Structure formats: C-alpha cells, structure tokens
Chains A and B, each alone.
Chain A
Amino acid sequence: MENMTQDKTIINQKILIIGSGFAGLGMGIQLMRKGEEDFVILERANDVGGTWRDSHYPGIACDVPSHLYSFSFKTNPEWSRVFSPGGEIQSYLRDCAKTEGLLPKIHFGRDMLASRWDDEKKLWFVETSNGLYSAQILITGTGHLADGHLPNVKGINDFIGEIFHSADWNHEVSLEGKRVGIVGSGASAIQILPEVAKLNCEVTVFQRSAAYVVPRADRVYTEAERRQFRRDPTIIDEVRQQVFWEGEYNYAQRRGVDRFLKEAKDMALGHLENQIKDKDLRAKLTPNYEVGCKRLLISNEYFPAFTKDNVTLEPSAIKEVNGSTAISADGNKFDLDVLILATGFEAVRPPFAKRIYGKGGIDLDTHWDKGMQAYQSITVNDYPNLFIINGPNTGLGHNSVVFIIEAQIDYILGALEFAKENNVLAIEVSEDAEQKYMEELHIRSQNTVWLDGGCKSWYVDDRSGRLTLIWPDYAHSFKDENGTFSPDGYMTITG
C-alpha cells in the first residue's frame, strides 16, 4: 500500500526487516511459512547473504560445521565438506531466498539511513537510500559482522599502495611479486595467510596478540554420504545434534572450569608444538592470555605458513604508516605494496544503532553510551516495536550463532502472535525489566574467560568493561530463556 505524505511516497507494510543475511532471511522464511506476507526486507546491497556475500577473501570458510551452521528448518544435504567454504554458504542463502519465494519481498539497494519511531502514529518511519518506508514492526538483522573495523593507525589513510579490508577484498589487486602486510591474527587472518603465502609474494603478519589455534577436523563429504543425507534427512538431524552438543561441551572452557581450560589449552599448544619446531617462532605464536578469552580458532594451515621463507611474523601491532612503510609497535619497519586489514568488525558499537531513533528522538548508539543492551537480548526500552536479532549478548564463543538467530525468530513470532491476539499497537519493554535482565547477565558473566581471561577482545565494551556481545552461557540456555515470548516485563498499548 502506498501513501503520499509531504510529496513523498511511503511504502507501508506491517513489518520491515533490515538485512538479508541469516537473520533477515530466516525471519522472512518463517513469516512466509506462517502465512504472514505483509513484510519487506530492506537490503543495502544487490544480493542476499550478509557477511557471506561481503566476505569473499581467499580461503574464507566457516568455523562451525556446515550441517549445524544452516537453518534447522532448511537443512542441506549437499554441503561439500564438514566446514564448507564461504561461497557455498552464500549459495545456500541465495537458494533459501529463492526456493522460499522470498526474492519479491526483498528490496535491494536500500540502505537504511534513519528509522524514526512516531509515537503518535505508533509507526516506524524508515528512510533509505532509495525510498521511504513505514511499518508497525521493525526488525533488525544486521549481525555482528556487517561493517569492517578499520584500525586507528597514524598515517594509514595516506598509505602509498593498495589497502583493503578483509570484508571488502579487492580481487583486482594482484599480490604476485608484491610485498604484502596482513594486519591481524584473528579468525579472518588465519584463513587469509595460508592462501596469500602460497603466492609468489613477501608476506608480513602484524600480530598484536597471538591466537590459540586448534586442529580443524575438516574433510570432504563423499558422494555416498551425500546420498544418505538426501535419502534420509534424519541423518542430518543426528549430525546437527552431535555437532551441537559437542559445541555445548566446550562452554565449560568459557565458564572457566580449570580442567576444561587445561584440556583446550593443551590441545592448542600441542597443535602449535606439532606444527612449529623452531622455539623462538613458537614463543612468538604463544598467547599470553587465557584460552577462549578471544575466539578459539581452528586451522591446520595457519602455523605452517610461518615456516615458509616468504612469510615474516612481526609479533607486535602496526603502529604507524609512513608513505609505503609500516612501522610496528616494536619499532620495526616494513616497506609494503599492499596492506590487508584483517582487523575484524564494528561489533561492540554496531553502526545500525546510530540510525535508529526511539521515543525521545535519541539514536540507539547514544542511548547505548555505556554499551549495548537489550531485554532478553532483543528489545530496548524507549524503542517500541523494535526487535533486534543478533544484537547485544547474542554472540557465542563455542557454538553456532544460527541457533541463536532461530531462537530469536521464534521469540518474535510469539510476540507478533501476542500482538495480533490482543490487538496491540505498540509493545515496549519496561526499563525495570531491561535493567534486571542486564544485571542478571552481568552476574552470570563473572568468572568467565571473556572477562577474566586477561585479553583485549571484541566481546567486551571498553566503556563499561561489560560483556555486551557474548551470551555468557550455554547456547541451549539462550533458547530456553529467550526463545519463547512472554508479555511479562512489557508495556502495551492496544487499539
């Protein structure tokens, strides 16, 4: 339905979803399956896939096994490997959008610029890069890994040479014969380095802090196995269960239980010792914080890359760039042709928050000046009819985030059902309920490796020292506690 207001066409619908990654697509699929077709998905790019569309650097793959890292309501017998490459995940998401009939619902090339709550009309008005929208319900599915984090390094903007972020890889830049700097040693860097090191180029890795890396139990699925998955999908369910509970087991490490920390640490350091014989190099690659404080990485190829003649490890951060010279915190200088920033994402302060204005006209980023927070990790006081998927306290260090996303989708479906049955125009969490939830989470976060592990990570908000990104418990507890909507704690206005 289209209305003319102030000479501008406004596209109205009941529900607006921002983003078409796992969160947005999953939400859309479940709405369609429930027979709710009054929604639109706004997508800033021209394709679905979210982080799997944007991240296409060499070597990209997921570090959660594919049979679990996919929708429970749309399993896929065709995964080529235990840990499938990123392109395959992107194809899967495209296929989900297509086969579920979601494509007509997705408005591509619409970057959400500002969403404003109109408390009189009880509607969200959403300004995009290509048109105005309004909706009763606003659902964000922008994820933690949407916008690349660029390090604040002196002179980096004046670097003479090619520079790009891992989530915006420039495939037109040939690395052959070049001097390449890779900044970072996190989940992206460990996948990029082995691929770049294969090329005829000189690579320097700037490592602010070393990573714990454990073996990757990856392998190809044989045609026989794929036939079994096709013929008998219950086998996929069994694999999902097995992988899920193995992941849950590892929560004991994050909880900080000594014997499981030791188990993980022994595995990671044993892997390092097996792969790196040179004691000095091994020392440089040995982390100085507790295992699990930063994301525990999995790779069989990362450490061996450092034994190649064309790879240099600089065990300190990049501090300054002067022309084509990169200077490390330890004062070492490297002349470079290409600088690859594998420096992670703007996760703690997600950019979408700057664009959402609640009841008082305050943007969510300002509202979250002490760190992001949400009741049941999904709704925010002063921001009625807004549901945030994969926002505050929804990240996992030990299991599949798609499981969390599905739990949140179920929650929203419950809330929509409640609103429909009770003729609710606006629903808003009370400040008390939100604060109480956050206090409980804060207590629960104590003694976990994320807070006590002695590292600097993207899981913690520097401004408050609180764990704002991670769900500090089992994944199953998230679903048990936050997967089913209850009106308790909410204020409603009925029509």
Chain B
Amino acid sequence: MQISTENEPKKLTVNDVEITYFDSGKQDISDRLPLVMIHGTGGRTDSHFGYLFPLAAQRQRVISIDLAQPKLKSESLSLEHLSAQVMAVVNHVIPDEKITLLGYSLGSVIAASIASAFPKTVENLILIAGWMKTDTHQVMRNQVWKELRKENSEAIKKYMTFCAFSAPFMSNKPIEEMLAAAEMIEINEFVDMQMTLNADIDITEQALDIQATTLVIGCTFDQMVPKHHSKQLYSVIKDARYAEVASGHAVVFERPAELVQLIDNFTQNPQKHEAGEIIPALRP
C-alpha cells in the first residue's frame, strides 16, 4: 500500500545561498495555475504550510520556498533579498509560466511586492494576514520582542505564542498544549533579521500598482497583524476581494482547513467574486 502526497525537498543555490523548496509536480488533470507559496517570519514550508501544501496540491501544482538567510555584507535584510529567492525558484522550476502567488504574514508582504514587480508572472495573488505599512501597534510589539530577545528571556516563546494564537482558540486548549506549542518555536539570527525588516515595512506604492486578481484574507482575532491591515490591502489593491477567518495570526494552525477552502475556491475561479466583494464565511 502506498499512500503519500509528501514531497522530497529540492535544492537551488541563489546568490551563494542554498535554498530548499518543495514541488508537488506537474498535474495533468488540473487547469489551474501553479500555486507558489511563501511562508511567514520564522517559518518554513513544513511548519507554516504543513497542512496547506499537501491539501492544496490535490487541486493544482504547488511550489513552496523555504526562505534562507542571505549572505549580507553591511546592509540589512530587505524584501528584495527574499523576493530574489522566490523568483529564482519560480524561474528555475516553471520558467515563463503564469502563477498564483500566495504569501502568509511576512510572506504576503514579499508576495505583494513581487506581484507589483512582475505583473506578467503573477496572475493571481493570495495575501493571508499580510500588511502594507508597519504601524505603531506592530512596532510596540516588535520592541517588546527585541527586548525579550536581548535579555535572552525565557518568556519570549510564550510571548510569541500568546500573540500568535487567538483567545478563543487558546481558551479551548489546556495550558500544557499551548506551552508545548511555544517550545516548538525556533529563534535564530535569520529570525532577528526578519523581525528588524518587519518593523519597517512600507509597500504602499507597490500595492497601488498590483494588477493581479487578488484574494486578501484577514484574521478576526489577529494581534500581530490585526485585520485592519488586511482591510487596507483589500482597499488599495485594484482587483481585490476580501475574506475573513475567525482566527488569530496563527491561522495556518488554527483554521488550516478553512484556508484550504478559500484557496481552493479562489484558484478554481479567481473572478468568481468581483473586485471589492466581501466573501461571506461559511456558516455550517
């Protein structure tokens, strides 16, 4: 018996750095565009897209990139460094193909800037818990994080977990389970660099330019990238529609199946909902 939809990691060297990516392979029966996924801060395909990747791959080809720490001289990490990694994989695996580009959290900031720079490649765009311009609320959280990090505080992972998950989700779990989730978090130099980048995002001009058919997904109880950021993207991007999931920022863990539904319906027919439409949540 062979039941598997897992995919072996593949490697590509970009600007002297080895990048890991995953490719579910060509799909004969699907007429959907390949779906390219970019994870969020501190994530990997395996952690942020452990559910979405194999399930979305039932419907279309899926490619996901594990962002890697670039070799930098004196400059700090920029969106361009990370975008270059994504585009290198796209150009290597599916050159000249149009794609649906999906980003989650910081990944959606990268995805939005790629969509603005490569309008001929990015036909459709999905932005989950993303933002356009870092605001004071985010800077405040970012600074607390940096202080905890500087102090090498034991509380930092709990703090991250507290910020990431919604109160309704957490309240239904025993505290042991949430503490165990906190222990899974990895923090390293690359995460530090991403946190510095997060504190100073402004892609307003790019967002105004985006031509792609776009689905913006906000999370009702998001304390890290509160949903008003998603509403801003939805308002600014010309051909955007909006959906909301009753979740915290950690939506890929709290409501992954609901994301699968939204992604599935969108990639099947991106224009099903018109620009400006708010897609109602399923009421089971």
Interface residues of A (CB under 8 A from B): 68, 72, 237-238, 240-242, 244-245, 248-249, 251-252, 255-261, 290, 400, 403, 443, 447, 449, 452-454, 474-477, 479-480
B250 to chain A, nearest CB (A): 14
Q: Is B58 interfacial (CB 8 A cutoff)? A: yes
Q: Are A252 and B1 in contact (CB-based, < 8 A)?
A: no
Residues of B in contact with A, size category:
20 to 34
Residues of A within 8 A of B265 (CB): 480
- In the bound complex, what is the Cα–Cα distance between A257 and B55 (angstroms)? 8
Most buried by A among B5, B50, B281: B5
Q: Are A259 and B6 in contact (CB-based, < 8 A)?
A: yes
B251 to chain A, nearest CB (A): 11
Complex: chain A residue closest to B4, CB-CB = A258
Residues of A within 8 A of B58 (CB): 255
Interface residues of B (CB under 8 A from A): 1-6, 29, 50-51, 54-55, 58, 168, 172, 246, 255-258, 260-261, 264-265, 281-284
Residues of A within 8 A of B172 (CB): 242
Most buried by B among A238, A259, A261: A259
Q: Are A252 and B51 in contact (CB-based, < 8 A)?
A: yes
B153 to chain A, nearest CB (A): 32
Complex: chain B residue closest to A256, CB-CB = B3
Q: Are A68 and B264 in contact (CB-based, < 8 A)?
A: no
Q: Are A480 and B261 in contact (CB-based, < 8 A)?
A: yes
A394 to chain B, nearest CB (A): 16
Complex: chain A residue closest to B265, CB-CB = A480
Q: Are A240 and B284 in contact (CB-based, < 8 A)?
A: yes
Q: Which of A244, A252, A452 contacts B55 (CB 8 A)?
A: A252
Q: Are B283 and A248 in contact (CB-based, < 8 A)?
A: no
Pairs A-B, 8 closest by C-beta atoms: A248-B257, A256-B3, A244-B284, A257-B54, A249-B257, A476-B261, A258-B6, A257-B5
B269 to chain A, nearest CB (A): 11
A449 to chain B, nearest CB (A): 7
- In the bound complex, what is the Cα–Cα distance between A452 and B4 (angstroms)? 11
Q: At the interface, is chain A mostly helix, strand, loop or mixed?
A: helix
Residues of A within 8 A of B261 (CB): 248, 474, 476-477, 480
- In the bound complex, what is the Cα–Cα distance between A475 and B4 (angstroms)? 22
Q: Are A242 and B257 in contact (CB-based, < 8 A)?
A: no
- In the bound complex, what is the Cα–Cα distance between A447 and B6 (angstroms)? 13
Complex: chain A residue closest to B253, CB-CB = A249
- In the bound complex, what is the Cα–Cα distance between A261 and B261 (angstroms)? 20
Complex: chain A residue closest to B256, CB-CB = A249
Residues of A within 8 A of B1 (CB): 290, 452-454
Q: Which of A241, A248, A252, A453 contacts B54 (CB 8 A)?
A: A252
Q: Which of B6, B283, B284 contacts A257 (CB 8 A)?
A: B6
- In the bound complex, what is the Cα–Cα distance between A400 and B284 (angstroms)? 9
Residues of A within 8 A of B258 (CB): 245, 248
Most buried by A among B3, B4, B265: B3
Beyond A237-B283, A474-B257, A474-B260, is A242–B168 a contact (Cβ under 8 Å)? yes
Q: Which of A68, A72, A256 contacts B4 (CB 8 A)?
A: A256
A475 to chain B, nearest CB (A): 8
Beyond A443-B29, A474-B261, A477-B264, is A261–B282 a contact (Cβ under 8 Å)? no
Q: Which of B51, B256, B283 contacts A241 (CB 8 A)?
A: B283
Q: 27 A-B contacts, Cβ less than 8 Å apart?
A: A68-B284, A72-B284, A240-B284, A241-B246, A248-B257, A249-B257, A252-B54, A255-B5, A256-B3, A256-B5, A257-B5, A258-B3, A258-B4, A259-B6, A259-B50, A260-B51, A290-B3, A443-B29, A447-B5, A452-B1, A452-B2, A453-B3, A454-B1, A474-B257, A476-B257, A480-B261, A480-B265
Q: Which of B4, B246, B281, B282 contacts A479 (CB 8 A)?
A: B282
Residues of B within 8 A of A480 (CB): 261, 264-265
Complex: chain B residue closest to A68, CB-CB = B284
- In the bound complex, what is the Cα–Cα distance between A449 and B5 (angstroms)? 12
Residues of A within 8 A of B168 (CB): 238, 242
Residues of A within 8 A of B281 (CB): 241
- In the bound complex, what is the Cα–Cα distance between A103 and B168 (angstroms)? 40
Q: Which of A251, A257, A400, A453 contacts B257 (CB 8 A)?
A: A251
- In the bound complex, what is the Cα–Cα distance between A404 and B256 (angstroms)? 21
Q: Are B246 and A238 in contact (CB-based, < 8 A)?
A: yes
Given contacts A255-B55, A258-B6, A443-B29, 15 further A-B contacts (CB under 8 A): A241-B283, A244-B282, A248-B261, A249-B256, A251-B257, A252-B54, A255-B58, A256-B4, A257-B55, A259-B50, A290-B1, A403-B284, A475-B284, A476-B261, A480-B264
B45 to chain A, nearest CB (A): 12
B221 to chain A, nearest CB (A): 11
A465 to chain B, nearest CB (A): 15
Residues of A within 8 A of B5 (CB): 255-258, 447
Complex: chain A residue closest to B245, CB-CB = A245
Residues of B within 8 A of A452 (CB): 1-3
- In the bound complex, what is the Cα–Cα distance between A108 and B257 (angstroms)? 42
A407 to chain B, nearest CB (A): 10
Q: Are B257 and A245 in contact (CB-based, < 8 A)?
A: yes
Complex: chain B residue closest to A217, CB-CB = B172
Complex: chain A residue closest to B51, CB-CB = A252
Beyond A238-B168, A252-B51, is A245–B255 a contact (Cβ under 8 Å)? yes
Residues of B within 8 A of A400 (CB): 284
- In the bound complex, what is the Cα–Cα distance between A252 and B255 (angstroms)? 13
B17 to chain A, nearest CB (A): 27
- In the bound complex, what is the Cα–Cα distance between A252 and B6 (angstroms)? 12
Complex: chain B residue closest to A480, CB-CB = B265
- In the bound complex, what is the Cα–Cα distance between A242 and B265 (angstroms)? 20
Complex: chain A residue closest to B254, CB-CB = A245
- In the bound complex, what is the Cα–Cα distance between A260 and B50 (angstroms)? 10
A228 to chain B, nearest CB (A): 13
Complex: chain B residue closest to A248, CB-CB = B257
Complex: chain A residue closest to B169, CB-CB = A242
- In the bound complex, what is the Cα–Cα distance between A35 and B246 (angstroms)? 34
Complex: chain B residue closest to A251, CB-CB = B257
Q: Are B51 and A249 in contact (CB-based, < 8 A)?
A: yes
- In the bound complex, what is the Cα–Cα distance between A453 and B3 (angstroms)? 8
- In the bound complex, what is the Cα–Cα distance between A255 and B260 (angstroms)? 13
Residues of B within 8 A of A256 (CB): 3-5
Residues of B within 8 A of A245 (CB): 255, 257-258
Residues of A within 8 A of B260 (CB): 248, 474
- In the bound complex, what is the Cα–Cα distance between A474 and B155 (angstroms)? 39
- In the bound complex, what is the Cα–Cα distance between A71 and B69 (angstroms)? 51
B171 to chain A, nearest CB (A): 11
Q: Are B4 and A241 in contact (CB-based, < 8 A)?
A: no
Complex: chain B residue closest to A403, CB-CB = B284
- In the bound complex, what is the Cα–Cα distance between A480 and B260 (angstroms)? 13
- In the bound complex, what is the Cα–Cα distance between A168 and B25 (angstroms)? 52
Residues of B within 8 A of A242 (CB): 168, 172
Complex: chain A residue closest to B258, CB-CB = A245
Residues of A within 8 A of B255 (CB): 245
Q: Are B3 and A476 in contact (CB-based, < 8 A)?
A: no
B219 to chain A, nearest CB (A): 13
Q: Are B51 and A447 in contact (CB-based, < 8 A)?
A: no
Complex: chain B residue closest to A479, CB-CB = B282
